[in-house]
Chains A and B, each alone.
Chain A
């Protein structure tokens, strides 16, 4: 099967390629990139006015398998990813049971193969049951195919346990992804501690909870000469801590979500639990610092933290609703509308942070448009206008603060290993 993408703006961050060109895909691989390509029998796709990018990668999603399939499963999650332009995701292990053994990694690999739409990478737990007490069998999980480790959703490991984890993993050159919020400062907290929480009476999660967690883990990683990846960074001070650490050579990387880049705690309304996320939406100064960090390289990747919940669970009073919302189908639209079209970021940088750089952080051969390499490709129409409608989501989650937003820009074609899995928003199984 051959596909010829004609006349798009081809952006490949790996070699800083940014030209109008054709891309020929053959037998699941990139066969050629150049001007005026011809290919007999190829399906020709008119990409003029559109951007042809390496398949987008989201290194932080929750597909809820095993155990919480009412929220999401590998099939619904894969469809949501394909619909949003993502060819590859990495799933977090905070499932029921927690993914903390090679047996679970193997069974999920099998489930990923069955779903078959996109590439699914698996992140294993750092500690057994993500309890922060004993190390999980990370070596075993690595051999079974785990791509990284995280106790995402928790910050329960003592400094001693975390140092052990860094030391133990040192020889394997894999990252530990940490959710950085010091637990004792977030007890009962459901939104950012600020003026808005003071007046709503909702308990706060202060930025200092994130900052001291980031500071601790940077110092531990530095001491152990290990690799730390800061999950969904959200505070200005934390960005500064990562920037300083990178400057002195600490092996630290960081990711940020579109929501933390573009929304503040002023968006929190008591009747709508969709804005309830951890870490919480912060202040405008934090958004500005995150953007600056993205631009100067302090922050390596954009992730969605796709966290769907069942309608039933999220549709309730703010303080008691679970945290998180599904982000795979809105990520590209939000980044383009609120940042690219506002003149705050350019397309090559955005695409790099959503493909090439996350692949580099994970050590994956992906996120590139290179002749001879696998053809994972996303075509984006930066000008297409559309409205976010929960009824049209492929994810099982429905509560998103972006529902109702009019957006400009969308992924219009997703190709995984040479096969079209999404065209014009429709997933093709």
Chain B
């Protein structure tokens, strides 16, 4: 495909299953330019002046919402935040009516997080503004997966051929699902491991995804390890005995880290349960890019806004 013809203008960003390799490449290259803006003293460009963006969050979030908000503001857009606890949502307004209300105010883009899988797809079918999915249940979190790819590429200089191990609670993880689509499309080798109770039963049927029950088998010679958060708030019915046992058998600690390549890169979508799925030594160790991911998140979201709202590199 001719790279100049790749455009995301007007596209809803729902999940990476809808993205081509060229489209992911476009986002990553644009994010690289955006990262320069963040490093400027005066972080403000007029690319999105006159555009308005609403963040609509039905679930708690610190980094994702702030990251989208700052990304919009650095580009000169007007950004308004709506959170479930402080809006008409507490009066029982349906998602549909809330979307219609926001749409009626002439908004250009809605960044949305919702606990129901499919909420973003649904929104994109009924509302005119561009929808950017900031997480829908356990389904997708495309901007997080894109910033993972961006971070990996910044460190490794490439994506193709790298072995990545995704560890832990894939069952409840929208990040993992978006990772699988994105990483595979960029030619990475995806290995997954965790207690079987936290892995979707039929995940092994997904092409080019290798599922392990022992985390050691996934970590072996890995270039990248992404540790997923244990989502205690989504757990029901004893999926594993105790967090203590989880840390001992499935957690990423220094001993297990030795099985990976020396220059292995450690990712975690945050917030971390340190001492459970990841030891503090690993989280803050030399191989960790966890803090850097947060900054890269702003760059990737700036790229997404620019591409969907203007289609181009006007920054």
Contact = CB atoms under 8 A, between A and B. Distances in A.
Interface of A: 187-188, 193-195, 197-204, 206, 269-271, 315-320
Contacts of A195: 202-203, 205-206
Nearest to B172: A201
Contact of B116 (A187, A197, A204, A318): A318
Interface in B161-194: 174, 177, 180
Given A271-B121, A271-B122, A271-B124, A199 B206 contact: yes
B122 A316 contact: yes
A319 B201 contact: no
Contact of B118 (A203, A206, A317): A317
A201 B117 contact: yes
Contact of A270 (B94, B95, B121): B121
Of all A-B residue pairs in the complex, the 5 with the closest CB atoms, nearest first, are: A270-B118, A201-B138, A198-B200, A318-B118, A201-B139
B109 interface: no
A270 B206 contact: no
Given A187-B237, A271-B124, A319-B116, A198 B137 contact: no
B140 interface: yes
A197 B174 CA distance: 13
A396 B235 CA distance: 38
Nearest to B114: A317
Contacts of B136: 201, 270, 317
B207 to A, nearest CB: 10
A200 B180 CA distance: 12
Interface in B103-138: 114-119, 121-122, 124-125, 136-138
A202 B139 CA distance: 7
Contacts of A204: 200-201
Interface residues of B, number: 30
Given A270-B121, A318-B122, 6 more contacts: A188-B236, A194-B205, A201-B139, A204-B201, A271-B118, A317-B95
Contacts of A198: 200-203, 205-206
A315 B124 CA distance: 13
Contacts of A271: 118, 121-122, 124-125
B177 A199 contact: yes
Interface of B: 17, 94-96, 114-119, 121-122, 124-125, 136-140, 174, 177, 180, 200-203, 205-206, 236-237
B233 to A, nearest CB: 14
Contact of A315 (B96, B116, B180, B200): B96
A271 B15 CA distance: 13
A317 B201 CA distance: 24
B122 A317 contact: yes
A199 B178 CA distance: 9
Contacts of A200: 117-118, 139
Centre residue among A187, A204, A270, A320 by max chain B CB count within 10 A: A270
Contacts of A270: 117-118, 121-122, 136, 139
B116 A320 contact: yes
A125 B303 CA distance: 58
Contacts of B138: 201-203
B132 to A, nearest CB: 16
Nearest to B17: A199
Contacts of B201: 193, 198, 204, 206
Contact of A317 (B17, B119, B140): B119
Centre residue among A195, A200, A316 by max chain B CB count within 10 A: A200
B188 to A, nearest CB: 17
Contacts of B177: 199, 201
B122 A187 contact: no
Contacts of B121: 269-271, 317-318
B200 A319 contact: no
Contact of B202 (A197, A202, A316, A319): A197
B192 to A, nearest CB: 11
A318 B140 CA distance: 14
10 contacts: A199-B17, A199-B203, A201-B117, A203-B138, A204-B201, A270-B139, A317-B95, A317-B117, A317-B119, A319-B115
A212 B200 CA distance: 21
B117 A318 contact: yes
A354 B114 CA distance: 43
A213 to B, nearest CB: 19
Contacts of B94: 316
Centre residue among A187, A193, A316 by max chain B CB count within 10 A: A316
Nearest to B237: A187
Centre residue among B17, B95, B116 by max chain A CB count within 10 A: B116
Contacts of B115: 319
Contacts of A316: 94-96, 122
A269 B119 CA distance: 12
A257 B8 CA distance: 42
A193 B202 contact: yes
A323 to B, nearest CB: 14
Centre residue among B94, B118, B205 by max chain A CB count within 10 A: B118
Nearest to B177: A201
Nearest to A193: B201
Contacts of A315: 96
B137 A201 contact: yes
Contacts of A203: 138
